[in-house]
Amino acid sequence: MIALMRSNKLKNLRERFEVKPLLDRLKNGEILVADGAIGTMLMNYGLKPGEPPETFNLTNTRILEEIASLYLDAGADIIQTNTFGASPLRLSLYSLADKTEEINTRAVLAVRKVVKDRAYITASCGPSGRLLKPYGDIEPEEVYSSFERQMKALISARVDAICIETMMDLKEAALAVRAAKTVSPSTPVMATMTFDATPRGFYTVMGVSVREAAIQLEQSGADIIGSNCGNGIENMIKIGKEFKKYSHLPISIRSNAGLPEMQGDKPVYPETPRFMGEKVKELVLSGVSIIGGCCGTTPEHIRAMRETVDLNR
């Protein structure tokens, strides 16, 4: 009986996809559920503080497969790769830049082995870890080249979309979008930024407002825009509504499970799956197209979100 139920569940997942292009489904008004945190999950599998998560791509892809399987079983339509810090500039901080292609390729293959055609695979691309001039010491061309090298590896490994995320500098985000679109104009690109709540509204640490982000990310060529990380779901509902005011592009919102509290050397996130699942209804009603989790969220959080989305289509 259990085997039959699992078989039917997987059949429903396959039917839900029908290998339709991601952007077509969003333009038709469908709401897709993304997965949750990777870094938080890897901590449970032994990732040490200060250790780059991407080392798992070289040493233990079985764990990446297991995490992908957990999120797929929870009902995620979109599964990300463990490549957030896998641009050569970021990897150079750990003397791993020469492993860029291997790290990115192995991450995609690990997810594809589990997901096959039952979910979309999106490649996570985070900030370079360097500040652009005049605030920092690096030229835009060097940052662009770093992103381009990562994009080539990811797109060669056949991801379904690129997810440029946790960005705070619009110039850096635009460089990443341009790199992705130069390598593959047809590959959908998501670009999401991280905002802090201030008395004047939501701004990134570089002073970028939601309005500025919405307008400039669209102008840079992103197909999907929005926010991830930095806030629990209640603030992210507000951010999602603000993005909807300034753009007609599909909006992606992936909330943290609240703001972490340190217990020893481990961050503990306060928002429960039930709480986040209930709040997702407001994201659905506001017209957000992709709903998922970021730091602190687990397969149980995504399962709760899936249930709410299905009930409020």
Q: Which of 242, 251, 166 is nearest to 211 (CA)?
A: 242
Give 264-293 pLDDT, tens digit per residue: 877 889 999 999 999 999 999 999 999 999
Q: What is the pLDDT of residue 79?
A: 98
Residue-level pLDDT at 19: 61
Give me the mean pLDDT over the 69-75 stretch.
Answer: 98
* Region of poorest pLDDT, from 16-25, 176-185, 186-195: 16-25
pLDDT value, residue 264: 80
What pLDDT is stored for residue 267 in this prediction?
Answer: 83
pLDDT digits (tens, 9 = 90+) for 198-237: 999 999 999 999 999 999 999 999 999 999 999 999 999 9
DSSP 37-59: -SHHHHHHTTPPTT--GGGHHHH
pLDDT at position 1 is 43
- As a whole-number percent, the residues of the chain with pLDDT over 70 amount to 94
* Structure token pair of residue 10: 């997987």
Give the mean pLDDT of 66-89.
98
Residue 10 has pLDDT above 60, yes or no: no
- Residue of 245, 235, 185 lying closest to 213 (CA atoms): 245
Q: Of 244, 290, 254, 239, whose CA–CA distance to 84 is shortest?
A: 254
* Sequence letter at residue 49: P
Between 290 and 5, the more confident residue is 290
264 phi and psi, to 5 degrees? 75, -125
CATH H superfamily, domain 37-250:
Homocysteine-binding-like domain (3.20.20.330)
Q: Is the pLDDT of residue 140 over 60?
A: yes
What is the pLDDT, as a whole number, of residue 5?
A: 42
Residue 120 has pLDDT above 70, yes or no: yes
